[in-house]
């Protein structure tokens, strides 16, 4: 499938076309080439995204990475950067969007992102962290303040009670 077809399919899921979606589509297509991957049926492919913007939808559609499967991980840094891992081969790549030239229209920018040479659109790096572990299942525990069930790692102990993050009173001195 060519990149414009991939973009069109992603736009159906996303709801509209935009340069942001083009960023994620291009990143996903390049990750497929660089890592020899296709669509992840389970957790074979992992994407760690450093943003929660439009491009993430293209990655979900094209690579099959999703928060629910545990192979789409949000590491919010406000950057148009994506790290991709192939669990089978161990290969990994981080794609960081380069500054784009000024364009007269959104459509021109979108097409530039999809069609320009890879090294003009993304800086290709290695992730600075290892492959994230596979998703784990945790026991749920009822918060002793609000009563809502919470996954065990998201509980805190406060005054001897197990409380959820919403009920926990943060303590900062700095």
Tens of pLDDT, residue by residue over 48-100, are 999 999 999 999 999 999 999 999 999 999 999 999 999 999 999 999 999 99
Question: What mean pLDDT comes out for the span 113-139?
Answer: 96
- Confidence check: pLDDT of 22 > 90: yes
Question: What mean pLDDT comes out for the span 21-44?
Answer: 97
pLDDT of residue 172: 85
Where in the chain is CATH 3.30.1330.130?
Answer: 3-125
- Confidence check: pLDDT of 171 > 90: no
Tell me which residue of 144, 15, 35, 14 sits closest to 95, measured CA to CA: 35
Percent of residues, the chain, with pLDDT higher than 90: 96
CATH code for residues 3-125: 3.30.1330.130
- Confidence check: pLDDT of 174 > 90: no
- Confidence check: pLDDT of 37 > 90: yes
pLDDT of residue 173: 87
- Confidence check: pLDDT of 8 > 90: yes
CATH code for residues 137-174: 3.30.60.20
pLDDT of residue 65: 98
Where in the chain is CATH 3.30.60.20?
Answer: 137-174
For tokens 């960023």, the residue is 23
Q: How far is Cα 13 from Cα 63, in angstroms, rounded to an integer?
A: 13
**Is the pTM value of this prediction over 0.85?**
yes
Question: What mean pLDDT comes out for the span 144-164?
Answer: 97
- Confidence check: pLDDT of 1 > 90: no
Average pLDDT, the chain: 97
Pairing label, strands 122-125, 140-142: unpaired
pLDDT of residue 11: 98
Residue 168 CB-density burial (10 A; 0-12 exposed, 13-18 middle, 19+ buried): middle
Question: What mean pLDDT comes out for the span 42-53?
Answer: 97
């Amino acid at each position: 499938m060519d990149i414009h077809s991939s973009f069109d399919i992603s736009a159906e899921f996303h709801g509209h076309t935009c340069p942001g979606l083009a960023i994620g589509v291009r990143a996903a297509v390049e990750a497929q080439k660089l890592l020899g991957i296709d669509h992840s049926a389970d957790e074979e492919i992992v994407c760690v995204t450093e943003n929660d913007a439009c491009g993430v939808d293209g990655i979900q559609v094209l690579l099959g990475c999703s928060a629910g499967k545990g192979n789409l991980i949000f590491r919010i840094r406000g950057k148009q950067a994506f790290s991709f891992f192939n669990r089978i081969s161990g290969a990994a790549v981080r794609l960081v969007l380069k500054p784009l030239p000024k364009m007269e229209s959104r459509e021109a920018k979108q097409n530039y992102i999809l069609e320009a040479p890879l090294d003009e659109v993304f800086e290709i790096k290695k992730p600075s962290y290892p492959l994230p572990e596979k998703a784990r299942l945790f026991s749920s525990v009822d918060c002793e303040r609000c009563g809502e069930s919470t996954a065990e790692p998201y509980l805190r102990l406060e005054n001897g009670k197990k409380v959820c993050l919403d009920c926990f009173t943060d303590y900062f001195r700095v």
